[in-house]
């Protein structure tokens, strides 16, 4: 039988996280202030979260915002069997894209512009920036 498990992250900026999820092609629903969303799991089991990522037609990944960062909660077996993405692959992809979005945001804040961007075969992203 499957169950929900959580993964603690160092993600703290919800705006950059939502941009990263959009970049990766995930749809999500954010709870209204003071409310929560239902995260779907095996046999209609549910958990509560601040944001719900639609991993497939029947399984979700929940995002809980804590003082230490974002926590992902999901029935990872269901996500893997219906979406083909393991817990590790999901967390790694979201974390990398989040870092990309956070760096781009910080560069813009400090007055830098993106000169070029390259993604290696291994998946590393290299950014060249300028400041005038």
**Could you give the CA distance from residue 117 to residue 1 in angstroms, rounded to a whole number?**
44
Instruction: Return the pLDDT at 34.
Output: 87
**Could you give the CA distance from residue 113 to residue 43 in angstroms, rounded to a whole number?**
49
* Residue extents of the structural domains in the chain: 5-130
Tens of each residue's pLDDT in the chain, 132 residues: 458 989 999 999 999 999 999 999 999 999 998 899 999 999 989 999 999 999 999 999 999 999 999 999 999 999 999 999 999 999 999 999 999 999 999 999 999 999 999 999 998 999 999 987
Cα 116 from chain centroid?
25
Instruction: Return the pLDDT at 2.
Output: 56
Nearest Cα neighbor of 73 from 56, 58, 57, 90 is 90
């Amino acid at each position: 039988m499957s169950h929900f498990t959580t993964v603690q992250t160092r993600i703290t900026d919800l705006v950059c996280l939502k941009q990263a999820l959009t970049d990766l092609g995930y749809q999500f629903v954010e709870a209204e202030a003071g409310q929560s969303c239902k995260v779907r799991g095996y046999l209609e089991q549910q958990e509560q979260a601040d944001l719900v990522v639609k991993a497939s037609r029947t399984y979700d990944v929940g995002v809980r915002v804590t003082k230490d960062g974002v926590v992902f909660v999901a029935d990872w077996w269901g996500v893997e069997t219906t979406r083909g993405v393991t817990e590790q692959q999901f967390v790694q992809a979201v974390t990398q894209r989040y870092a990309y979005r956070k760096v781009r945001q910080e560069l813009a804040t400090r007055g830098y512009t993106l000169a070029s961007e390259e993604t290696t075969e291994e998946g590393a992203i290299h950014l060249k920036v300028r400041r005038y």
